[in-house]
A and B are shown apart, each in its own frame.
Chain A
Amino acid sequence: MPEASSGSRFSRPAIVLAGLGLLAAASVVAFMTLGARGSWSFVLSFRGQRLLALILVAYAIAVSTVLFQTVTNNRILTPSIMGFDALYVLVQTSVVFFLGAHMLVLADPYTRFLTEVALMAGFAWVLFRWLFLGEERSLYLLILIGIVFGIFFRSLSAFMQRVLDPNAFQVLQDALFASFQNVDTTLLWMSFALVAAVTLVLWRIAHSFDVLALGRPQAISLGVDYPKTVMTILTMVAVLVAVSTALVGPITFFGLLVASLARALLGTGLHRHVLPAAVLLGIVALVGGQTVLERVFSFNTALSIIVEFLGGLVFIFLIVRGAAR
């Protein structure tokens, strides 16, 4: 590949990736060691679990957002803006509502989690198939549909939660109460396995990502099996979002933040650069951000708020600048 900027020995993507890699490594080290007191084996295993969860979330959200934007050929929509994590909450609520709270308590958490992920992937499959496989739709229409779906899913969940008996509601709330501070680590290994499986599937079709970014007509012209590839990617995106939402709860604008920042830093849209950069940025933001908040400012509540705030700003900026083309 020719250098876009002549004169420098390393290309801009290489420098950006190396810098982000260093930052991410520093964040991880700081997260594991800063302010550690007492037995190292305890500290490392305790923090290690949270670290793994944060990295999984960063990875899942970054990859799902970048690929979702590639497939839908836009820079503004993300799975969460399309009301996707609201769908996860709806699935959880429906399980309690229709099957009873004992399903959440008694059922093996792994089976439960897998069922929920499968349900969600199924829903997403139907939804996306309808939205993205037919004729091309206006981006504004899609944003509107996404917002309407989000509200619909949330309202439906809220309605069912109101009707639930208080005990069942308590159980449900407990299941839904995940955040960056309170990572649901019971599902950690299952999530890890799922993310690894998704990565394997995506790896095998990774060669088509850049071509898909050229848009549907050009991708088909170049011989991509469009419906099959797109549905595979969207299904994998659904699984990734399910995993991340299960671990830390819904976060709306984080994916948009890391995907947009990655592209802005790199200056190119090639996936072999954008995907790792977005993941590393995600790790820096989550692991580094959490460390700074916990150790430097020693208050424990605000990472999601800060991330949402910054991501929201990026969202508004992108819309105003007209990247919606």
Chain B
Amino acid sequence: MITAKSVSKSYGDALVVDDVTITLPARGITSIIGPNGAGKSTLLSMMARLVGMDAGHVTIDGLDVVTTPSEALARRLAILRQDNHMTARLTVHDLVTFGRYPYSRGRPTEEDAVHVARALDYLGLTDLSGRFLDELSGGQRQRAFVAMVLCQDTDYVLLDEPLNNLDMKHAASMMRLWRDACRDFGKTVVIVLHDINFASWYSDHIVAMRQGRICRQGTPDEIIRTDALRDIYDMQIDVREIGGRRVCLFYE
């Protein structure tokens, strides 16, 4: 369980996250949605210990993210951000092997090799494992990073806008992949999303933020509604039900 208690963060004078207290349910996909500048990514980054908080604390399974050794947290919580511009030239296999770093500290064992092979296989990257990342397409590279995160074998995965720069096909397959990973490995995945239709379609739970605060949370059925979305986005959004799922129409 990820719990945030009275968490605040400001950059200069701007209060980005304002006294947020929330408990994210274990297992399944939780999406964090909200307008630009609502503090979604900042909240996620604080949970991931990438950004320090001004007040409050975050615990993962009862472990405080600030005081717990980073190494121990790395076995429970993985973060994947979108802007993975790396300067080092690595093969897919090298990259995925880094997922075992929290366990092997750079000296992969036989057991680590099994994890790596399994992750490569799960993402259909086995044939590409000797290729360098800069020789892959954007979608393949994205999958390589996902393989690394799966290899890290954590209960919790935090994803910051994982669909940026992906076309519809890759975006949809990325979301399916995480949904399957939740089902297959019992993971808890927290995703900051901009596209509310993706949130509606794939989430088990949605948290909506606005102006640094949590304004609503619940199942997609509770959040993807015209009245709730108006509160969140200040915008009239038509919600239709198609095949038992809710789809938002926000185009005029």
Contact = CB atoms under 8 A, between A and B. Distances in A.
Interface of A: 1-4, 6, 69-70, 73-75, 206-208, 210-211, 213-218, 220-226, 263, 267-270, 323, 325
B70 A215 contact: no
Contacts of A323: 87
Contacts of B88: 70, 210, 213-214, 269-270
B89 A263 contact: yes
A268 B132 CA distance: 8
Interface residues of B, number: 39
B101 A222 contact: yes
Nearest to B45: A217
A214 B80 CA distance: 11
Contacts of B90: 268-270
Given A4-B130, A215-B84, A217-B79, A222 B89 contact: no
A172 B85 CA distance: 45
A1 B152 CA distance: 18
A217 B81 contact: yes
Contacts of A69: 87
Helix, strand, loop or mixed for chain A's interface?
A: loop
Nearest to B74: A223
Given A208-B106, A268-B91, A218 B84 contact: yes
Interface of B: 48-50, 69-75, 77-81, 84-91, 93-95, 98-99, 101-102, 105-107, 129-132, 149, 152
A214 B98 contact: yes
A269 B69 contact: no
A73 B87 contact: yes
Contacts of A214: 84, 86, 88, 95, 98
Given A207-B106, A210-B106, A222-B98, A2 B130 contact: yes
Nearest to B152: A222
B98 A269 contact: no
A269 B99 CA distance: 17
A213 B50 CA distance: 16
